Structure 1
Amino acid sequence: MTRIVLDGERCVGSGACESLAPDFFEVGDDGVVAVLRADPAEGELRDVEEAVQQCPTRALELVPEQPADAAG
């Protein structure tokens, strides 16, 4: 499982992520992106990965999420 992490202090609201993956990102009235869904399914990763790569300030990151039983 992969999770989307946003660094709101780095975000400049370019909207690149929203245009590439609108089911996951939305630029708010404050000019900062909101993550609508942080847990893309395997079949949704392509658009999300592209959105993360196109972020001009690298405010977005995809991180692997450990299953609850593996967190120990």
Structure 2
Amino acid sequence: MAYVISSECISCGACESTCPVEAISQGDDQFVIDANTCTDCGACSDSCPVDAISAG
């Protein structure tokens, strides 16, 4: 199951640059993860300074 970004996201972009498959992009209000591209590696979760990313 793909990782998801909660409303706690502060749009810092740390997760986007750490995603090895480029599944993360800037959405309207916060960053979002494309569930079809996400490989569940957890790199984004480890890089998030506010713990806004978790396994879906």
- Same fold per superposition (TM over 0.5): yes
Point out where structure 1 has 5 or more consecutive residues left out of the alignment.
64-72
Deviation at 1:39, TM superposition (A): 6.2
Change in Cα spacing, 1:4 to 1:33, as seen in structure 2 (3 Å) is: same
The alignment's TM-score, normalised by the length of structure 2, stands at: 0.71
- The structure richer in helix per residue is 1
Whether 1:20 and 2:18 are equivalent positions in the alignment is yes
The superposition leaves residues 18-68 of structure 1 with CA deviations (integer Å, 9 ceiling, x where unpaired) of 1111621112353x1111226634xx62xxx121111011110024xxxxx
Point out where structure 2 has 5 or more consecutive residues left out of the alignment.
none
Change in Cα spacing, 1:54 to 1:40, as seen in structure 2 (3 Å) is: same
Larger Rg: 1
